[in-house]
């Protein structure tokens, strides 16, 4: 087995893990999944590509503007598509509302930028030029993705041990009890969506040099993100990292040994097998509510 194939799978898996982590960030304070999260990632990638290609802005300035746009859209989405459903207790009405936002964003971006993928260069001083270390071929940008993913898991893990993070966990466990203890779920929810939008923007910019910026990037990463969350366990960022790496390696190995056409079938087969044994995910809990 070519170790470079496994390494490439790990890097792709890290992107999938990041998408899953961003979904977990929004799920904890609201108990909802944002079906438009992948489109926020896509918008950041497309915006950055357009700014770099048309306006010739410096790379990091274009990245900041793309992240700000994704965060602003996520912030507005919370008040339009999530908050009313939570306030009126519309059950799973957020599924339709966030899907509607997703379709609207896809339509707008498709008409504004077109369907053609756009190449995005990595940020300086990183490059996609291959280097050799024994049997392994890699580039500095892949190392950046690996390091950033590890830092993301570490930082989010640290955050949930702090006071604000514990308050978010309290809302996830019991929203009414958290209210009685003086915790404001609405404030933490919109803050989480704002931070989740920033995370989506960063993920989109990280993914663009590897997967290209296109309207198909959003649906791809939202599906992979849901797979990662399901396998790793809802709300578990450590589980998301492990699940992302496993699914990325399965995808890469199946594409190399069988055929690229079998990649999705292989990953879904692994997801199904794991969920048959651990329906709540590897690091998930079987209880729907723990007090």
pLDDT value of position 189:
87
Q: SS3 of 239, please?
A: helix
Res 21 pLDDT > 90: yes
The answer to whether position 247 is within a domain reads no
The answer to whether position 235 is within a domain reads no
Residue burial 202-238, b: 16+ Cβ < 10 Å; e: rest: bbbbbbbbbbbbbbebbebbbbbbbbbbbbbbbbbbb
pLDDT value of position 11:
94
The answer to whether position 288 is within a domain reads no
Q: How many CA atoms lie within 13 A of 6 on its CB side?
A: 5
pLDDT value of position 198:
95
Q: Over range 36-60, report the average pLDDT.
A: 91
The answer to whether position 205 is within a domain reads yes
Res 24 pLDDT > 80: yes
Q: How far apart are CA 45 and CA 223, in angstroms?
A: 17
Q: What is the pLDDT of residues 64-91, one digit of tens each?
A: 999 999 999 999 999 999 988 888 776 6
pLDDT value of position 92:
78
The answer to whether position 1 is within a domain reads no
Q: Would you give the end-to-end CA distance of the chain in angstroms?
A: 47
The answer to whether position 117 is within a domain reads yes
Structural domain of 209 = 9-128+135-226
Q: What is the pLDDT of residues 186-221, one digit of tens each?
A: 888 889 999 999 999 999 999 999 988 998 898 899
The set of residues, in sequence order, having a beta carbon less than 8 Å from that of 76 and lying 6+ positions away, is none
The answer to whether position 252 is within a domain reads no
Q: And the tokens for 143? A: 């190392």
The answer to whether position 16 is within a domain reads yes
Total domain count, the chain: 1
Give this prediction's pTM: 0.91
Is residue 203 within 8 Å of 152, Cβ to Cβ?
no
Q: SS3 of 184, please?
A: coil
Q: SS3 of 52, please?
A: helix
Higher pLDDT, 92 or 211: 211
Res 286 pLDDT > 70: no
């Amino acid at each position: 087995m070519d170790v470079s194939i496994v390494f490439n799978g790990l890097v792709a898996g890290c992107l999938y893990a990041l998408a899953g982590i961003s979904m977990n960030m929004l799920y904890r304070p609201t108990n909802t999944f944002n079906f438009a999260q992948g489109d926020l990632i896509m918008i950041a990638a497309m915006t950055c590509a357009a700014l770099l290609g048309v306006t010739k802005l410096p790379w990091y300035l274009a990245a900041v503007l793309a992240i700000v746009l994704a965060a602003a859209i996520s912030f507005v989405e919370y008040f339009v598509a999530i908050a009313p459903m939570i306030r009126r207790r519309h059950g799973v009405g957020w599924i339709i509302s966030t899907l509607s936002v997703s379709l609207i964003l896809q339509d707008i971006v498709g008409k504004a930028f077109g369907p053609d993928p756009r190449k995005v260069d990595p940020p300086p001083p990183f490059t996609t030029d291959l280097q050799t270390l024994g049997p392994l071929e890699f580039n500095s940008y892949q190392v950046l993705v690996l390091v950033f993913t590890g830092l993301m898991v570490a930082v989010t893990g640290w955050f949930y041990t702090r006071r604000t993070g514990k308050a978010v966990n309290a809302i996830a466990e019991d929203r009414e009890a958290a209210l009685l203890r003086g915790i404001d779920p609405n404030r933490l929810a919109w803050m989480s969506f704002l931070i989740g939008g920033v995370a989506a923007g960063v993920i989109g910019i990280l993914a663009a040099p590897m997967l290209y910026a296109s309207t198909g990037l959003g649906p791809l990463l939202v599906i992979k993100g849901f797979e990662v969350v399901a396998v790793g366990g809802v709300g578990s960022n450590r589980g998301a990292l492990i699940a992302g790496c496993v699914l990325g390696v399965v995808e890469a190995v199946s594409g190399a040994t069988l055929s690229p056409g079998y990649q999705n079938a292989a990953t879904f087969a692994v997801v199904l097998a794991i969920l048959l044994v651990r329906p709540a995910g590897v690091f998930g809990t079987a209880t729907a509510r723990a007090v």
